[in-house]
Amino acid sequence: MTLIVRDFRPEDAPAVVRVRRASVQAAVTTEEALHFAVRSAHPASKYRMLVAEADGEVIGTSHVSLAYDSDEPGQARLNPHVHPDHKGKGAGSAILRAAEEHVAAQGATSVFTWVNDEPASLAFAARRGYSPLRSAHFQRLDLAGATLPEPLKLPAGCALATAADFAGGPRPVFEADAEATSDEPGDVGTNLDDYEDWLNHTWHHPCLDHGLSTLVVADGRIVAFTLAHTDGDTTYLSAMTGSLRDYRGRGLAKAAKTDSLRRARAAGYTDAFTNNDAGNEPMLAVNTWFGYRICVSEVRHVRELT
């Protein structure tokens, strides 16, 4: 077998989608999203999409980048995946090695990755010097068969809108996302302070469904929201849900999510996924209330390169 690791080419998109969907079924992956990731990458991220090719067939892939949006320099992210039918052939080791070499050459001193919470994957990470940090859970909702809650009554002065309503000026969406994201648990802090960069990577992302992303508006600003990614077929993913600090505890995010899920089902989506840190008990409780159930767990790992 001839195994090589190289950069993604446009014609690889169908094969990479197959690898990612087989490896991370709870993620929304489309060919257009792959092309978008490559062409819209921030120069400071030193982004690469690597593929592992065995005898002419793409069997593995990895996003690789510096955490340019973090206040702490020297951090990098990579997430290698190998198609389940092709594990044990050395593709994971080869693509991980190439990814680490790339970010190390760009000045990275620590590398973060997600690892499936199952013995073989955890052992693979440990052998390569990665240490576990925290866990997270993907959760699935049978959107076609679930009994969704009725629309929730909003407090006086609050109203629902969609991201599509802000197509002409999405800065209020950015401001809400920036505050909510700053409070998200995590090991690589994300500082959303660049509006143009947010437009490029979040607002214009081809999977962001503006019509199914629900916002709660009050006092002239967006105070809670849920942003939805869809694959245009059957799969819906909660990309980000949050509330401004002064508006938490009022059920506004739950109301936004209820509205979005009900409209997603009406639009024909059958599988809804979300992802939460294992320590984020409030959101885990909200998702359990909706009927989500854990389908896959992952463990965040880090390796120090120096």
Give the separation between CA 192 and CA 42, rounded to whole angstroms: 14
Give residue 160's pLDDT.
98
Pairing of strands 235-243, 221-230: antiparallel
Instruction: Flag whether 124 is in a domain.
Output: no
Asked if 177 contacts 208 with a C-beta cutoff of 8 angstroms, the reply is no
In 3D, which of 48, 76, 75, 74 has the Cα closest to residue 63?
Answer: 48
Q: Are residues 177 and 233 in the same domain?
A: yes
Q: Where are the beta strands (DSSP E) in the chain?
A: 3-7, 48-54, 57-66, 75-82, 110-116, 131-142, 158-162, 214-218, 221-230, 235-243, 271-277, 293-304
The answer to the question of residue 134 being in a domain is: no
Among residues 62, 93, 108, the one where a domain terminates is: 108
How many percent of the chain have pLDDT more than 90?
87
Q: Is residue 117 part of a domain?
A: no
CA-based nearest residue to 140, from 305, 295, 284, 34 = 295
Q: In sequence order, which residues have a C-beta less than 8 Å from that of residue 57 and are 6 or more positions away?
A: 15
Same domain? For 90 and 192 the reply is no
**Does residue 104 sit in the same domain as residue 156?**
no
**208 forms bridges with which residues in the sheet?**
229
Q: Kindly state whether residues 159 and 288 are assigned to the same domain.
A: yes
Same-domain check for residues 295 and 214: yes
Does a structural domain hold residue 91?
yes
**Which whole number is the average pLDDT over 235-245?**
94
Q: Does the pLDDT at position 212 exceed 80?
A: yes
Q: What is the pLDDT of residue 185?
A: 61
* Nearest by Cα to 215 from 267, 269, 175, 183: 175
Cβ atoms of 75 and 32 within 8 Å: the answer is no
d(CA 151, CA 193): 33
What does DSSP say about strands 48-54 and 293-304: parallel, antiparallel, or unpaired?
A: unpaired
* pTM for the whole structure: 0.91
Mean pLDDT taken over the chain: 94
Structure confidence by residue, pLDDT tens digits, 74-92: 999 999 999 999 999 999 9
Question: pLDDT at residue 268 above 70?
Answer: yes
Residue pointed to by tokens 């899920």: 261
Residue 99: closest CA among 83, 84, 113: 113
Q: Which of these three, 85, 108, 131, is where a domain ends?
A: 108
Q: What is the mean pLDDT of residues 36-41?
A: 95
Strands 75-82 and 110-116: parallel
**pLDDT in the model for residue 70:** 85
* CATH assignment at residue 25: 3.40.630.30
Q: Identify the three-state secondary structure at position 100.
A: helix
Residue 195 inside a domain? The answer is: yes
pLDDT at position 187: 61
Q: Is residue 21 part of a domain?
A: yes
Q: What pLDDT is attached to residue 190?
A: 62
Residues 29 and 146 in one domain: no
Q: What local confidence, expressed as pLDDT, does residue 186 receive? A: 60
pLDDT of residue 169: 95
* 161 and 295 in a common domain: yes
108, 124, 156 - which closes a domain: 108
Alpha-carbon distance of 134 to 300, in angstroms, equals 5
Length in residues, the chain: 306
Regarding whether 76 and 223 lie in a shared domain, the answer is no
Q: Are residues 64 and 193 in the same domain?
A: no
How, if at all, do strands 110-116 and 131-142 pair? unpaired
Q: Are residues 97 and 175 in the same domain?
A: no
Residues 288 and 222 in one domain: yes
pLDDT in tens, 137-167: 999 999 999 999 999 999 999 999 999 999 9
CB neighbour class for 128 (10 Å; exposed up to 12, middle 13-18, buried from 19):
middle
Supply the pLDDT for residue 281: 86
Q: Does 294 lie in the same domain as 159?
A: yes
Q: Is residue 121 situated within a structural domain?
A: no
pLDDT at 282: 82
Give the side-chain half-sphere CA count within 13 A for 114.
Answer: 18
* 288 domain residue, yes or no: yes
CA atoms within 13 A on the CB side of 180: 22
Q: Which domain holds residue 278?
A: 141-299
Q: How many domains, the chain? A: 2
Amino acid at 279: G
